[in-house]
Structure 1
Amino acid sequence: MTQLKLAPIKDVKPVKITVELPASLYRDLVSYGEILGRDGGQGSVEPVRLIVPMLEKFIATDRGFAKAQRSTSNQQMRR
Structure 2
Amino acid sequence: MSLKLERLPDRTPVRMTVALDPDLAAALTDYAAIYQQAYGEEEKPETLIPAMLEMFLASDAGYKRARRALRDNARNGD
- Is the shorter-chain TM-score for this pair beyond 0.5, marking a shared fold? yes
Larger-gyration structure (1/2): 2
Residue by residue over 1:11-35, the C-alpha shift from the partner in whole angstroms, topping out at 9 and shown as x without a partner, is: xx85432211000000000000010
Letter in 1 for 2:63: F
Q: Which residue matches 2:33? A: 34
Please list, as runs of the form range in 1=range in 2, the aligned pairs for 1:1-79 lying within 5 A after superposition. 15-43=14-42, 45-75=43-73
Q: How does the TM-score come out when normalised to structure 2?
A: 0.67
CA gap of 1:63–1:78, structure 2 versus 1, over 3 A, is same
Gaps of 5+ in 1: 1-12
Across the aligned residues of Structure 1 and Structure 2, the Cα RMSD in angstroms comes to 2.2
Moved more, 54-63 or 67-76: 67-76
Q: How does the TM-score come out when normalised to structure 1?
A: 0.67
Percent identical pairs in the alignment equals: 33
Report the number of matched residues. Answer: 66
Gaps of 5+ in 2: 1-11
Structure with the bigger RCO (C-alpha within 8 Å, sep 6+) is 1
CA gap of 1:48–1:72, structure 2 versus 1, over 3 A, is same
CA gap of 1:73–1:17, structure 2 versus 1, over 3 A, is closer
CA gap of 1:75–1:14, structure 2 versus 1, over 3 A, is closer
